[in-house]
Chains A and B, each alone.
Chain A
Amino acid sequence: MSYIKPKFEHPRAPKNTLGYTRKEYEGSLSTLCAGCGHDSISAAIVDACFELSIEPHRVAKLSGIGCSSKTPAYFLNNSHGFNSVHGRMPSVATGANLANRDLVYLGVSGDGDSASIGFGQFAHVIRRNLNMTYIVMNNGCYGLTKGQDSATADHGSVSKAGSVNNFEGIDMCAIAIELGATFVAQSFSGDKNQLIPLIKAALSHSGFSLINVVSPCVTFNNNPGSTKSYDYVREHNEALSSLDFVPVKEEITTEYDEIDVKMVEMHDGTFIKLNKLHQGFDPQDKLSIINALQVARQKDEILTGLLYLDTESIELNDLIGTVNKPLNSLTEKELCPGSEVLEKINAGLR
């Protein structure tokens, strides 16, 4: 069955620069478990798109299969959505982007979807630097099939049934950086203040943006001993910086020249302002983040915030020399070479 939310809207609800209220970015009522981290992420997506004044119909939202992949139904009702095949969202997103490079592509996936069955597609969409935002709602388990360990479950993490995971967990951010991702961030579903500006920055980045969001599964993986529980993540969360997304240059003042503040200019002229930046760490220095992630792993810390950003990123369509005009808008005139050319081709085959 489908769920429909009440249509009531407060007459004085704030509007964004397009004249839309937040409501116009919402989706249907969630059918996930009460308290699921994924719902907080959906809400953050709604906030980010509303605040960025993105036209909802200019977003294409895509997902694979699993609890996380259901969420595109719970945000941006005026956007086309595509719930594809398990682990194959990256390929569908790639094709969609090749067909129309002008839309905003938002992919949502889970740890089963991206780190196991879809690990290959995850790797290759990164290599190609597809212009999309890719959010992994990472809960370390397969929620929809009742809580089996996933490939991101940490070594030593204890499941609800009491068994200990003996296998190495995949660090989505570390692997993404290794594969050449041009925007990598990590966050926690319970930290809206960090997550919203990260989503905004990711959507503004031209190229592949990964946000790995630790998002506890309240039903199957929120027990003591689990490294993906609300309590554990709160205790071990180590923010590399706090972060503001600055939509236009004009808003920058000289107040920002403190030592632990860094301004990063994005491809589209917007800025990310990083406050309380960790010493010795620079999100534009790949070696510093690779090192920081290794150190954090030894200390059982979960590094959050903007981990890596390549502002020189060149996205897929430009890498392969495609025209700026969306390919899906081309007509016979541009696509079909016509009979005269064909006659010449025939002549060359005789």
Chain B
Amino acid sequence: MSTINDFVVRFANVNGTGSASANSLFAKSIFRMGVPVSAKNIFPSNIQGLPTWYEVRVSEKGYLGRKNGIDLMVSVNPQSLKKDIASVRPGGYFVYDSTKKLYEEFLREDINFIGIPLMDICNREFSDPRQKQLFKNIVYVGALAKLLDISFDEIEKLLSEQFKGKEKLVIPNVKALNLGGDYIAENFDFPLDFRVERRDLVKDWILIDGNAAAGLGAVYGGASVVSWYPITPSTSLVSSFEKYANKLRKDPETGKNNFSVVQSEDELSAIGMAIGANWNGARAFTATSGPGLSLMNEFLGLAYYSEIPVVLADVQRSGPSTGMPTRTQQSDLLMAAYASHGDTKHVLLIPSTPTECFEMMADAFDLAEQLQTPVLFMTDLDLGMNEHMCPPFKWDDSRKYNRGKVLNAEELEAAQDWGRYKDVDGDGIPYRTLPGTHPTKGAYFTRGSSHDEKAAYSEDSDTYVRIMNRLVKKLETAKTLVPSPAFYQENNTSEIGVIFFGTSRYAAEEALDIMRADGLKIDAMRLKAFPFCQEVEDFIDAHKQVFVVEQNRDAQMRTLLINELEVNPKKLIRVLNFDGTPITADLIIQPISALNLQSI
């Protein structure tokens, strides 16, 4: 019996050999056949020569998280051969370049070997040395298409889209594709006992990575100043902003930019520029990852205390220190929530899909300006750098940016006894002014030193305490403005709850389905923001035991929940994955099932 649309293929490549585009061609062809697919790049911090893997999961049911167990391994990297052969599930397949013979001692009885002389074929068929190398990748895509029953038409269509304007390149690519397919047809049985079958499950969804989506979201959200320092995995977020802005933000008359992007000398400067621009009334952001966020701490404290809006995208990677810079983690949460010395607390937004990256990035600018405080957009490498299938982006053309409480010249003229840090409305949010607005009214001195309601320097204890307490009130207001969590049941039905957030969503949703199908009653909540709104507290209160799923060692979200909501720590149970690869459903199911059995 053959399995349809439910398997995992892993590619083992050498980085810098052009395999990435061939592998994504493979994934996208399945997506084009209407079948849910998710792809993950597992790559080194290196440009050329080290092992890199690309994992594609095909799932009829639409599960997009990582899954253990490799059904088919495509091996074109001798460095990792032994490990790659060992990682195939019993009964699975190992596709390799048979130009050279495999070492006897690596062979396994319980898997199937499919040797294709990739190098021989390319040496014979192509003359250009670069093509000989590159087309090896396309030959194996062709072979896989034959083995897995993927439509050659779809791949050819993708190739002609990819090389639009360079049609000359389509012909040799299609040739390479067919060489692979033909070799399988002549030498092996096909298709395999698992394969792809055309479906209509993808609907109108799109395939994009979170960084690209967030960059686009920043364009739509009205960001006009971007300052940044290169760091994996956030670099492509700014590249995306720049790419879209160059297309969509040109002044029609002059051709000049309705935006500016500055690559700064370090992260200190990157956040400083973003704060300076926001202080002066432009929507500005910076993007970084863990080490950069560490450097930005001092400035975040200034922005918090002097109440300047700023948006910071943190695409998290594995720490501490340089850690594993190209592997995913959710381990900056505590630092982000309380960044900087003194008593500080910041607003965090936590997207889980590229669609949410687009939306939350745009919303972040409204929130930051409404609250006059830093808003940290907390994504991770898995979401930022891997393509995810997700609902299409939407924009309401009647939407106006919420610029918050900014007084213009007329309002300043009318204002009675204006003070920069006066809480006029009782929501903890004062009125601000921008430089250059009014000849005699509204000027004030922004400072990180203690100040009174009129922004004057003050070391008076009462004044200091009053301002610090107002900032607490402002965070209370933030709780009413940040996005509410998502729930996976209309009413709570169980004593057991599970909390997850960000990219753990994919594995957690799959785990929920499996556990619920097994008869386990369990309620679930996906967090989208910090500080926690009332619904978060209510969910925890309504359950006897709550599992908190996260991708870091120290259960940082659990710590935040305990600290902010004064939850009994014994009630919150850690479910952790911090090995640098995205969490799997199995990892979530195991501890929950185990504990559940115990309690019965």
Interface window among B132-140, B248-256, B498-506: B248-256
A95 CA to B302 CA in the complex, in Å?
15
Quick one: given A57-B436, A335-B224, are A100 and B298 in contact (CB under 8 Å)? no
The reply on A314 being an interface residue by CB < 8 A is no
Query: Is A194 part of the contact surface with B, judged by Cβ < 8 Å?
Result: no
Query: What number of B residues sit within 8 Å (CB to CB) of A?
Result: 76
CA distance A132 to B32 in the complex (A): 54
A: number of interface residues (CB 8 Å): 61
B554 CB-CB contact with A under 8 Å: no
Tell which of B207, B394, B396, B439 has the most Cβ of chain A within 10 Å: B439
When distances are taken between beta carbons in the complex, the residues of chain B under 8 Å from A252 are none
Interface membership of chain B positions 431-449, coded 1 if the CB is closer than 8 angstroms to chain A and 0 otherwise:
0011111111001111111
B220 touches A336 (CB 8 A): yes
Interface of B is mostly: loop
The answer to whether A339 and B394 have CB atoms under 8 Å apart is yes
In the complex, what distance in Å separates the CA atom of A331 from the CA atom of B208?
28
**Cα–Cα, bound, A92→B276 (Å):** 4
> Which residues on B sit within 8 Å (CB–CB) of A77?
443
A78 touches B435 (CB 8 A): no
Interface string of B368-394 (1 = CB under 8 A from A): 000000000000000000000000111
Question: A86 to nearest B CB, angstroms?
Answer: 8
Binds A, one of B72-80, B260-268, B585-593: B260-268
Question: Do the beta carbons of A91 and B222 come within 8 Å of each other?
Answer: no
Given the complex, which residues of A lie within 8 Å of B490, measured CB to CB? none
Chain A's nearest CB lies how many Å from the CB of B20?
A: 18
Would you call B204 and A350 a contact (CB within 8 A)?
A: yes
Q: Does B572 contact A (CB under 8 A)?
A: no
Q: Residues of A contacting B204 with CB < 8 Å?
A: 346, 350
- Interface flags, B236-262, vs A, CB<8A=1, else 0: 000000000000110100101111111
Interface check B282, CB cutoff 8 A? yes
How far apart sit A323 and B258, CA to CA, in the bound complex (Å)? 6
> Which of B277, B446, B460 is A80 in contact with, Cβ under 8 Å?
B446
> By the criterion CB–CB under 8 Å, are A327 and B456 in contact?
no
Contact of A95 with B220 at beta-carbon distance under 8 Å, contacts A58-B436, A60-B280, A339-B396 already known: no
Within 8 A of A (CB), among B220-236: 220, 222, 224-225, 227
List the B side residues contacting A350 at CB < 8 Å. 32, 204-207
Chain A residues whose C-beta falls within 8 Å of the C-beta of B207 in the assembled complex:
349-350
Whether A98 touches B273, Cβ cut-off 8 Å, given contacts A57-B438, A85-B298, A339-B394, is: yes
What residues of B have a CB within 8 angstroms of the CB of A72 in the complex?
Answer: 445
CB neighbours of B302 from chain A (8 A)? 84-85
| CB closest chain-A residue, reference B435 | A80
Report how far A322 CA is from B273 CA in the complex, Å: 16
Does the CB pair B224–A95 fall under 8 Å?
A: no
Chain A residue nearest to B216 (CB atoms) is A345
Nearest A residue (CB) for B395: A339
Given the contacts A85-B302, A128-B262, A328-B282, A56 and B458 also touching, CB distance less than 8 Å: no
B401 within 8 A of A: yes
**A99/B224 contact (C-beta < 8 A), A84-B272, A91-B276, A323-B251 known:** yes
Does B394 contact A342, Cβ atoms closer than 8 Å?
yes
Restricting to B250-307, which residues have a CB under 8 Å from any CB of A? 251, 254, 256-262, 264-266, 268-284, 298-299, 302
A1 cross-chain contacts in B, Cβ below 8 A: 457-460
Q: Which of B208, B225, B278 has the most CB of A within 10 A?
A: B225
CB-CB under 8 A for A124 and B448, given A92-B275, A95-B279, A98-B262: no
Q: Give which listed residue, B265, B280, B392, B439, contacts A100 with CB less than 8 A.
A: B280
Say yes or no: is A49 at the interface (Cβ < 8 Å to chain B).
Answer: no
- B189 at the A/B interface (Cβ < 8 Å)? no
Quick check: A95 and B456 within 8 Å, CB to CB?
no
Q: Which of A83, A99, A120, A336 is B277 in contact with, Cβ under 8 Å?
A: A99
Q: Are B206 and A83 in contact (CB under 8 A)?
A: no
Interface flag for B196 (CB, 8 Å): no
In the assembled complex, how far is the CB of residue B377 from the closest CB belonging to chain A, in whole angstroms? 18
A94 in contact (CB, < 8 A): yes
Closest to A87 in B: B268
A interface residues (Cβ-Cβ under 8 A, vs B): 1-2, 55-58, 60, 62, 72-73, 77-85, 88, 90-100, 102-103, 120-121, 123-124, 128, 316-317, 320-324, 327-328, 330, 332, 334-339, 341-342, 345-346, 349-350
Task: List, sorted by A's number, 29 A–B pairs whose CB atoms are closer than 8 Å.
Answer: A55-B439, A56-B443, A80-B445, A82-B276, A83-B448, A85-B298, A88-B272, A90-B272, A92-B272, A92-B279, A95-B272, A95-B278, A97-B276, A102-B436, A120-B269, A321-B256, A322-B259, A330-B222, A330-B224, A332-B222, A332-B401, A334-B251, A335-B219, A336-B220, A337-B248, A350-B32, A350-B205, A350-B206, A350-B207
Chain A to chain B: the 10 pairs with minimum beta-carbon distance, closest first:
A95-B276, A91-B272, A99-B282, A95-B273, A80-B435, A328-B281, A95-B277, A92-B276, A99-B280, A349-B206
